[in-house]
Amino acid sequence: MQSDLNKALSIEELVLTPVLLVIDHWQTMDLNEECAAAILVRQADIGAFLSFVLPAGKIVPFIAALTDGDPRARVALSQVVEMLNQACPILRKVCGDCFRQGAWEDLSRKSAFAARVASVCDRPADLVRFCSQLAQARRAVRDNLGAVDAYRCVIQAASGLPNEKSLLAVAHGNLGLVLSDISQFDDALEHFRLALLYESDPKGIRMIQTNRAGCLARLGEYRAAGEILSKEIAQLEENGVTDIDLAIALDTNAQTLIALGQLQPALEMLERARSLFPSDDGHNRAVNAMAMANACQEAGDDVGAAKAFELAHKLAVGDVRKSIDVEFYRNGFEQATAVKTDARAAHQFKQGLHEKQHDNPSGAFACWQEAVNLARAGNDIGLALRISANAAALFFDFGQIDRALDVCRAVRQEASARGLALPELMVLGTMSAMAASGINIDDPLGALGPLARSIALRNVHSQIVAGFDLNPVERSGAVDAGQSANELAMFAATYSAIALAADYFRQAVEIARSIKGHPALVNRLAGLTPLLEKLGDAAGANQTAAEIESLLKSGALSLQGEIVAHRALAKRLEKISSAQAIAHLRSATAAAERMRAQIPPGPKRADFDRQFRDVPYMLAELLFREKLFPAAFEALQGAKGRRLIEAKALKAVNAGEYADALPSADEAHQLLLGTGNRSVLVDFVVSLRGDAITAYVVADGAIQPVCVTGDTSAFNQVERGNAAEREERVVELCMHNPLLRELAEAVAAVIPASRPILLVPDKVLYNLPLHAIPVHGKPWILRNPISYLPSVALLRFRRTVPQRRHALVAGDSRGDLLGAREECSLVGSVLGTTPLIGQACTCAAVEKRLREDRPDSVHLAMHGRGDLRHGDRSSLLFADGMGGEEWVGFDALTEFDWAARLVVFSGCSTAVAGMRYSSQLLSVANAALEAGAESVIASMWPVDDTSAKMFMTSFYKGLDHAAQSGLVDLRLILVQAIEDVRKQTQWEQPTRRRNGRHAGLPGIKVEENAVAPDVKAALAWAPFVLIGAPLLQL
């Protein structure tokens, strides 16, 4: 096997040596020969390829001669192409050998080279073959973006080939699968659709349908996915199929059942799938075991979850070990150690580590960038990649998730291609940490995928290093710092695999102790301590806690280390001494704010907050316990709406004043005075244990807490079922849940009727229509006019400049919403503007009007969508101006100039906020608020076209009437619109929904379910909410 690999490693040289010989002698070519016209047509592409693969000094004069039309250069070009054509059979054999041996890293590099050769030779069949192998290799090493490019190349090259349809079916199907893995769901579903058009083989159709169902499940369309999978399973069973196809279909269907809460049938299905997977299929068996761990965890079976996780861990690590070629990595390590390290690069690397330890990330990045440049200039690729791996980890620590992921992927791809285990396992550790915190890293095993590979690579790397005679400096640069063991320990602990987690933590701690001044030692001790307590090892827990305290007192910890240490000690002390625990948490909060201040103000700080989001809640709970209510309220503000507030602060005139300051209790009282009608602020917090909800009622210069106790798990579960039924579940929950009714009535007991309320929801309450909770027999919003705030600090940004009297109205971009079209006409007449309707409602047209006119009022009546699972899919559906349509997502919407006092989104789910990177809450409404809007009205679920038109007609009539008074309380107008809709009966005859979610999911049937009459009524009158400042100056 090794000899074959050696041949593969020299294939570029084998192909290019004769080519280079021709180019060296191009001036001696026989002019009697001619260059084929077909080659001349491709001259530029061939020249670009040669420039990429050959030394510049050799190729530049030749390319210049070609460009000038030198006939000898053209003859040479003809001979070059002929040589490349002759090399294609050799390349087919080499790549085929790599494929059969599972040498994925090597195949990735070789097939990429071979594909370029086939392309310049105009050999579409070979191009399809090599790109298909390249895509599979990149999938195997989890380079999904590279796989996407390769499959797109296959689709382009397959046109006109004899087996075009079958090639396109496979390519579109596989591309859909990869796009689904990287959360590009709209594109994925389109490619599955195309694959089904081209596929004629029943087995191929079943596989495409299974993968399509998996994509739908990831979107929360569990019933649609389950229906597809059930049909596939029935057909497979009818045909007597009991192989891996059936196993995968069962596995995928079981995961939809888990999401629907049907745990026992899911476990039975998983068990059956497990019996069908071949014994040597470690990957699929590991995916199956992880699904069982998730099902057991959902069912509260910690023992079952731990057992399933340990099996998944064993299978995943074993599967990866089989795929790793030790000799390939040994060769890579040998080549890396043969390069002499540039002393300046090593110094800059060390200096960067010093800057990081002393809480200067910008200094660390600057040092490391210079070190990488020096290392690469000296061909020390191993050092360059290790430095980049450190940079990726620091990007992640400081919330720069996109940059961290990009660097991790680049390092992983290059390290695996070169056989460099250490930098690869370093970035795998960072990627697993991302996955464990809820960030999508495109791996079906989640965090376990990169962790399993890193553990296997660590063992291989240790064996390799032991076989080399290295000096102390070289050996220190080849040491695994234990990051992967630490991440696996934390991940195992989430599945109650306590013994396994403690074992890995001990390994990680010992590695950190062996490296003087290791900055991660305190993190690992903090992770190990509570596990030792659970295992009954009180002495061990006391010892690790004492070590944490010693490290803290030494003054040598970074700010991040201080936060971790204070938090760990507070957890141990909270039941012993609240005062000491509060002191530690105050210190942790202060350190987190200092660390946070090192990141420029703006949305990126929200990703940093993810790491320590529990600290404000821990502190608030302890302060509440000590009856320090104003202090508890102030502590809580560290967890409320910070991304939004800082985005607003960036656009404010006094941005510096608000960039870092959290609102105090006194400021909250002052801000309330500007909201009129003796408004009351109600700030909710759900306890960390999920056994209580506290409402801090801020009014009349005082803060009064209201607390109710009970199980809050229903608030999590309501958002986890089938997406198409979500609105019915959330409305029914708010109208009938005893705990929510007790909470609302307890709050109402201290707030007189008709006093307006600003609700600040928390975590699992964020997307619930709390205003619909019945209080003394009628909806809460009809007793007390209600609006919502992500944070009281949002009230800082009310503008006092005169109104400009411009308006923008647009809608019905798809041409399928008659109610929206009529609504826009009415609103346009009220606001005195001509609406943009149908194909005139383009993204460019709306963005231009916002930028140039800077309207005070904006009304958009078009399809919208929100996505609880993938917040960045929050988007609006605009016309494209050419008869079609286009989605414009959250990030693009935040670039619009929404500097309006009032923005109304009357499309579906525009107030639904979904997670990104497990910390940011993104919605269409929040995009407008971030980008300058003062007040936003948006919907909490898909709205019926007719009832939405009724609501908006009433709202704008009320707004027009109230304009005479100058200062308008939008809450009162909203209440009147709700009352008007409640009096109507037309909503009982549903019309088309403004549901962009299903506009983007072809083939999904949305069925109307039977619901209770009060829930059905609330679905019509309760969707629209006011977010932001409640007063509008007209």
Q: What is the CATH number of the domain that holds 939?
A: 3.40.50.1460
Residue with tokens 């629907």: 260
Count of H-run helices and E-run strands, the chain: 49, 20
H/E stretch holding 875 = strand 875-879
pLDDT at 800: 64
Q: Summarize the confidence of residues 101-108 as an average pLDDT.
A: 82
Q: Summarize the confidence of residues 265-281 as an average pLDDT.
A: 92
pLDDT at 692: 94
pTM reported for the whole predicted model: 0.85
pLDDT 10s digits, 403-460: 898 899 889 888 988 889 999 999 998 998 888 877 878 788 888 999 899 888 888 8
Is residue 512 assigned to a domain? yes
Whether 541 shows a pLDDT value over 90: the answer reads yes
User: What share of the chain in percent tops pLDDT 70?
Assistant: 93
**Among 106-120, 478-492, 644-658, 886-900, whose mean pLDDT is lowest?**
644-658
pLDDT 10s digits, 548-584: 999 999 998 989 899 999 999 999 999 889 999 999 9
What is the DSSP pairing of strand 1024-1028 with strand 935-939?
Answer: antiparallel
Among residues 767, 794, 821, the one where a domain terminates is 794
pLDDT at 25: 84
Among residues 731, 762, 794, the one where a domain terminates is 794
Phi-psi category of 399—alpha, beta or left, where left has phi over 0 and alpha has psi -120 to 50? left
Is residue 152 assigned to a domain? no
Whether residue 335 is found in the same domain as residue 356? yes
Whether residue 763 is found in the same domain as residue 890? no
Domain that holds residue 813: 798-1033
Whether residue 735 is found in the same domain as residue 715? yes
Q: How many Å from the N-terminal Cα to the C-terminal Cα in the chain?
A: 79
pLDDT 10s digits, 309-333: 999 999 999 998 888 888 889 998 9
User: How far is residue 22's CA from residue 10's CA, in Å, rounded to a whole number?
Assistant: 19
Whether residue 668 is found in the same domain as residue 751? yes
Number of domains in the chain: 5
Please give the mean pLDDT across all residues of the chain: 87
Q: Summarize the confidence of residues 665-679 as an average pLDDT.
A: 88
Whether 707 shows a pLDDT value over 90: the answer reads yes
Structure token digits, residue 649: 């602060």
Whether residue 696 is found in the same domain as residue 775? yes
Is residue 164 assigned to a domain? no
Q: Summarize the confidence of residues 1015-1027 as an average pLDDT.
A: 94
Best CA proximity match to 9, nearest among 378, 418, 413, 324: 418
User: How far is residue 926's CA from residue 936's CA, in Å, rounded to a whole number?
Assistant: 9
pLDDT at 46: 81
Whether residue 528 is found in the same domain as residue 557? yes
Residue with tokens 């099902």: 295
Best CA proximity match to 900, nearest among 929, 925, 878, 874: 929
Detail the DSSP E strand segments found in 290-330. none
pLDDT at 654: 52
Within 10 angstroms of residue 897's Cβ, the number of other Cβ atoms is 18
Q: Summarize the confidence of residues 798-809 as an average pLDDT.
A: 74
pLDDT at 478: 57
Structure token digits, residue 699: 């009014």
Contact (Cβ atoms closer than 8 angstroms) between residue 898 and residue 932: yes
Is residue 827 assigned to a domain? yes
Whether residue 641 is found in the same domain as residue 751? yes
Whether residue 780 is found in the same domain as residue 804? no
- pLDDT band of residue 349 (cuts 50, 70, 90) is very high
Whether 18 shows a pLDDT value over 60: the answer reads yes
Q: Summarize the confidence of residues 225-233 as an average pLDDT.
A: 89
- For 353-404, the three-class secondary structure string (H helix, E strand, C coil) is HHHHHCCCHHHHHHHHHHHHHHHHHCCCHHHHHHHHHHHHHHHHHCCCHHHH
Whether residue 702 is found in the same domain as residue 727? yes
- pLDDT band of residue 604 (cuts 50, 70, 90) is low
Phi-psi category of 380—alpha, beta or left, where left has phi over 0 and alpha has psi -120 to 50? beta
537-576: buried (b, 16+ CB within 10 Å) or exposed (e) per residue? beebbeebbebbeebbeeeebbbbbbbbbbbbbbbbbbee
User: What share of the chain in percent tops pLDDT 90?
Assistant: 52
Is residue 739 assigned to a domain? yes
Best CA proximity match to 774, nearest among 742, 747, 735, 731: 735
Whether residue 551 is found in the same domain as residue 574? yes
Structure token digits, residue 646: 């800082």
Which sign does the torsion angle of CA 956, 957, 960, 966 carry? negative
Is residue 116 assigned to a domain? no
Among residues 60, 80, 98, the one where a domain terminates is 98
Best CA proximity match to 409, nearest among 391, 393, 431, 435: 431
Whether residue 621 is found in the same domain as residue 744? yes
pLDDT at 358: 82
Whether residue 576 is found in the same domain as residue 619? no
How far apart, in Å, are the Cα atoms of 483 and each of 480, 507, 521, 612, 855?
8, 10, 10, 19, 52
Whether 6 shows a pLDDT value over 50: the answer reads no
pLDDT at 658: 52
Best CA proximity match to 801, nearest among 925, 899, 898: 899
- pLDDT band of residue 7 (cuts 50, 70, 90) is very low
pLDDT at 9: 39
Q: Summarize the confidence of residues 298-316 as an average pLDDT.
A: 92
User: How far is residue 707's CA from residue 667's CA, in Å, rounded to a whole number?
Assistant: 23
Is residue 124 assigned to a domain? no
pLDDT at 520: 85
Is residue 635 assigned to a domain? yes
Whether 742 shows a pLDDT value over 80: the answer reads yes
